[in-house]
Amino acid sequence: MSFDDREFISQIAPSTSTAAKVEGWEDISLPPGEESMFLSHEGGESELINNIFLEDQSSKRKDGRGWRDRVHIRNHDWMAQREELIRAYLEYRAGREPMESEELEQWEFVMVDFFSMRYRSICPAAPTDHINPTLLRHGYIGSAPLRPSVAVSLDVLEAYRQQHRVCPRFGLQAQVKALCYLHQVPFNRSLVEQLNVVFDVYLEILHGVDMLVNNALGRNTPNWRMLNVCAPCLYALEGEESLKPKLLACMDGNQSLKLVDETFWAGTAHLDHRTARTDIWRAY
């Protein structure tokens, strides 16, 4: 329908008395979809149409959350199951066979080992079991805290930990590229992020195991490391004469000041609510 026809009908059709005087226009009605072209006497439809179809047409809903919020939520989800992950890791290292229930739904993952990458289904032992503790009992850790689709074997993580220990320049990206060559798959930077998340969780689990061992050995006092860091210097016999000075210490030429004082560090600091998980860095 043309614009002139719509204007003519809008002048005649709304008025019943006028339409009754014009022969043949008693049952006049607009085609479907043309009714919204008329504006009410109160107004406001034009602004609504502009807001819906003009302003929002070229813009999307903006998400105010940043990368920091995403990392914080992910870390919170991992820490919520930390104790359960540690128990599952100890069960796996003890050689305990994982239990499975044939009545429950199976979970499918992409399992990443050194020389293989395959799809595998794992069934939990109980409906209340979480995904990652169940994976750990089979020797894997998922790439996400709640709904992972990729799982990395503990052998890969432990091998990289020892390789990085003897060669700190050997980074995660090099490890991921090596795995891609072994598995004959194209390299993707998202794989580096996945391995980074899994490796951080693996280190947190190992730290939890070390804390359990230290508690069992009585090495959990606040000043234990300070009293036992150097046996020749700090181990004293009864009645032994005290040396002057008793202890000499130096720390990398004072270069670590740029890591703790904002006056000396370069770049922009990123806030992190996590704290050091060792008693080596402790203020006395």
Residue 133 placed within a domain: yes
With beta carbons less than 8 A apart as the criterion, state whether 8 and 28 touch.
no
Residue 195 placed within a domain: yes
In which residue are the tokens 């503790």 written? 133
Q: What are phi and psi of 66, to 5 degrees?
A: -110, -175
Q: Which residues pair with 38 in a beta bridge?
A: none
**Closest to 128 (Cα-Cα) out of 191, 84, 184:** 84
* Whether residue 8 sits in one domain with residue 108: no
In the chain, alpha helices (H):
3-12, 16-21, 45-49, 67-80, 82-93, 131-136, 154-166, 172-183, 189-217, 224-228, 231-234, 257-260
* Whether residue 189 sits in one domain with residue 142: yes
39: pLDDT strictly greater than 90: no
Tell me, what amino acid is at 268? T
| Domain that residue 158 falls in | 74-217
- Tell me the per-residue pLDDT of 66-113, one tens digit each, with 9 for 90 and over: 767 788 888 888 889 999 999 999 999 998 888 877 777 888 888 999
Quote the CA–CA distance of 149 and 270 in Å, as a whole number: 29
* Whether residue 42 sits in one domain with residue 152: no
pTM to 2 decimal places: 0.65
Q: State the pLDDT at residue 222.
A: 79
Q: What is the count of structural domains for the chain?
A: 2
Q: State the pLDDT at residue 68.
A: 75
Residue 32 placed within a domain: yes
Q: State the pLDDT at residue 244.
A: 81
Quote the CA–CA distance of 136 and 231 in Å, as a whole number: 38
Domain end, chosen from 157, 185, 217, is at 217
Residue 242 placed within a domain: no
Q: State the pLDDT at residue 101.
A: 76
Quote the CA–CA distance of 164 and 257 in Å, as a whole number: 25
DSSP state of 53: I
In SS3 terms, 94-122 reads as CCCCCCCCCCCCCEEEEEECCCCEEEEEE
Residue 42 confidence class, pLDDT cut points 50, 70, 90? low
Residue 69 placed within a domain: no
Residue 80 placed within a domain: yes
CB atoms within 10 A of CB 102: 6
Higher pLDDT, 257 or 145: 145
DSSP state of 13: T
